[in-house]
Amino acid sequence: MTDAPTGPRHVAIIMDGNGRWAQQRGRPRLLGHRAGARRVREIVEACPDFGVEYVTIFAFSTENWKRTQAEVSGLMTLFRRYIEGEAQNLLKEGVRVRFIGDRVRLDKKLRDLMHWIEALTAHNAKVNLTIALNYGGRDEVARATKRLARDVAAGRLDPEDVCDETLPRYLDTHVLPDPDLVIRTSGEARISNFLLWQSAYAEYEFVDTLWPDFTRARFEEVLARYGGRDRRFGGVRA
Ligand code: FPP
């Protein structure tokens, strides 16, 4: 029997705690989000050193529209600035950028930038960064089901062929492997509608560190703990 690789190939991250980080400093929540954006660069750049090929980050959920208008529009501005400001660095670092989530509700300027950076980095292959923006796991499954139903109605898909291998082809993540490890920062132990289908057999790590404090060293510690996990995917140890 050959040794299985010890590191996760795909890490998904719920970047929680930006608001509290800012609050602890008596600063506006948006400052925490800006600090969080800087951490994204550090963690993405660390991935190749740890053998992580795919990193998927939860930037804005389908539920985050419930926040104040000021916070929502501040976050949208931050996403635009991130794409514009990081483009050259992402290109240089060999990062391929993709987005998952429903783009329809996002403004056109942001949608155009998302499309632009996806095309710009499409030939990169060192790290695959997927940004979940206006993303919700239930919403994704519902949208996938709608597309699948259209194929059935049009006679392109036989209902008898619908199975757990068919549906993922309709998910936003259809080109990505399932996450091996899901990390949530800030001490909350819930998954908040993130990658519900894809994380069926993922390992979870809930860490107390607030996202803006989640350094490369913290990331390395979490990855080391993953190396000790015994993943059986419903089977038994050989
Ligand atoms: C959750 O923390 C965080 C978010 C809803 C936004 C995540 C966004 C970033 C890290 C900004 C940068 C991202 C990119 C892709 C540039 P919270 O605000 O819920 O924190 P709290 O629970 O302490 O209030």
Instruction: Tell me yes or no: is domain 10-138+178-226 CATH 3.40.1180.10.
Output: yes
pLDDT tens for each residue of 66-122 = 999 999 999 999 999 999 999 999 999 999 999 999 999 999 999 999 999 999 999
Closest-CA residue to 19 (of 34, 7, 29): 29
**How does residue 238 score in pLDDT terms, banded at 50, 70 and 90?**
low
55 lines ligand 1 (CB under 6 A): no
User: Domain extents for the chain?
Assistant: 10-138+178-226
| pLDDT value at residue 2 | 40
236 C-alpha to center of ligand 1: Å?
Answer: 38
CA angle, 58 as apex, 168 and 65 as ends, to 5°? 105
Question: What distance lies between CA 36 and its chain's CA centroid?
Answer: 14
| 128 catalytic residue (yes or no) | no
Residue 64 CB–ligand 1 contact under 6 Å:
yes
Backbone angles phi, psi at 87, to 5 degrees: -50, -50
Distance CA 149, CA 210 (A): 41
Q: Whose CA is nearest to atom 22 of ligand 1?
A: 17
Q: How far apart are the first and last CA of the chain?
A: 9
**Average pLDDT for 137-142:** 98
pTM (two decimals): 0.95
Query: Is 89 annotated as catalytic?
Result: no
**Considering only CA atoms, which residue is closest to atom 12 of ligand 1?**
37
Residue among 13, 15, 106 whose CB has most ligand 1 atoms within 8 A, to mutate: 15
pLDDT tens figures, 190-225: 999 999 999 999 999 999 999 999 999 999 999 999
Give which of 64, 149, 150, 148 is closest to 102, Cα–Cα: 64
Q: 């080391």: which residue's tokens?
A: 224
Quick one: what percent of the chain has pLDDT higher than 90? Answer: 92
Model confidence at 1: pLDDT above 50: no
Atom of ligand 1 nearest to the CA of 29: 18
